[in-house]
Structure formats: C-alpha cells, structure tokens
Amino acid sequence: MINIGSGISGAAGWYNVDNSPTILLSRIPLVRRLLRLPTWPRDVHRLDVRKGLPFADESVSYIYSSHTFEHFQWSESLKIAKDCFRVLKPGGALRIVVPDLGRIVREYLHNSAATASHDFLQRLSLSHGIHDLIHPGANHSQMFDEKSLLHLFRQAGFTSPEVKGFMESRIPDIARIELEVRKNESLYVESQR
C-alpha cells in the first residue's frame, strides 16, 4: 500500500512518501528547532514520484493520494497515474483526492462579497515564485474537476474510474488514511486496475 504525498499524516502499515525538502532536515533536532520545521514521522520516505515508483509491476494492492496531484503539471500527473497503473495488482485500486474545482467555482459564483474574485484566486493557490526553487511543488500547478480527474484515470489506463464520497472506498480501513479535515473541500475518484 502506497500513500503518495502523505505529508506528516502518514498511516501506519502504508509506504508513505512525500517530496518535501524538510523531511530530511527535520530529522536533525537542532535544525528542526531553528527552522521550526514539523516533526516528520520516521515512516515517511522522501521520494519524488515524478521520477517513478520504485516498485515492481503488479506488486501493490492499493495506492492512495490526497491533495497531491494538483501540485504536478498535467503531463507529470498523467505519468504518475500511468506508473500507479503499472505497479497495481489486477483488482488493486488507486484513489486520488484533490481540491474540488467545481465546488470552489460554485462557491465563488454564490459569493456576493466585493473581494470574491480575490478569494477565489487565493483558494486556487496557483502562484509560483522563488519559493519554488527551494520546494518545487509547494503551490498548485493545476486544478481538477470531476471531468478532468476521471479523464486522467482513463488516460492512465483505468477503464472504470468512479467519483466516490468521503470514506466510500474499496480500500480496507480507509478510515486510517482519509482525513476528515479534507471532507468538505475534496473530490474523490477511485478505480480498480
């Protein structure tokens, strides 16, 4: 079981991966205190999944990713999704959770505040700057709605992706990994290989 983009909330029993440069720095106590870094769990591995998943073909039962794919460019997302397809066992499942652009747009359209457009753009978190040199992928590079995320799955080889609800999954013990704090802002799509 692989958890792509686990952040500091990795789940026990999963192979938790994240590409934050603070993972290794936080393991040096003095550096962690000086830079006020979060304490990363020891079971979170630093891995840039854009370079490929280090697993054999058809060797993994479940892959979960929450609020990570929006940090990649479309071509990178597609490459990663295809690699997920490659490593999943037949019948294995990929579940991708992203901020729901459709929901964000609907909320913007119903927001009568004078600053609604500014709030909308800030929620998208699409700005990039010098910080990207230190931590590539810290900001969003794209956003997904239902159609585009289903399309990503199909382009990667998955034939029957489905929009799911919070905690509605083929993954056993989904409650161990799915964060309730993301429930009201997320789009959930899952498919078996």
> pLDDT tens, 27-43?
888 988 888 888 888 89
What is the structure's pLDDT at 88? 98
What CA–CA distances, in Å, run from 109 to 24, 44, 187? 42, 39, 19
Question: Which of 75-79, 110-114, 125-129, 181-185 shows the highest mean pLDDT?
Answer: 75-79
Provide the domain limits for residue 103. 2-192
Residue-wise DSSP of 122-143: HHHT----THHHHSTTSS-S--
The band of 158, judged by pLDDT with boundaries at 50, 70 and 90, is very high
Which CATH number goes with the domain that contains 7? 3.40.50
- Residue appearing with tokens 């794209």: 142
- Model pLDDT for residues 101-136, shown as the tens digit of each residue: 999 899 999 989 998 998 888 888 777 666 565 566
CB 62 within 8 Å of CB 4: no
DSSP 69: G
What CA–CA distances, in Å, run from 193 to 58, 90, 154, 159, 161? 9, 5, 11, 8, 9
Question: Which range (9-18, 52-61, 91-100) has the least confidence?
Answer: 9-18
Q: What six digits make up the tokens of 86?
A: 């490659």
DSSP 172: T
Statement: residue 22 has pLDDT above 90: no
Q: Which of 144 and 32 is assigned the larger pLDDT?
A: 144
Domain count, the chain: 1
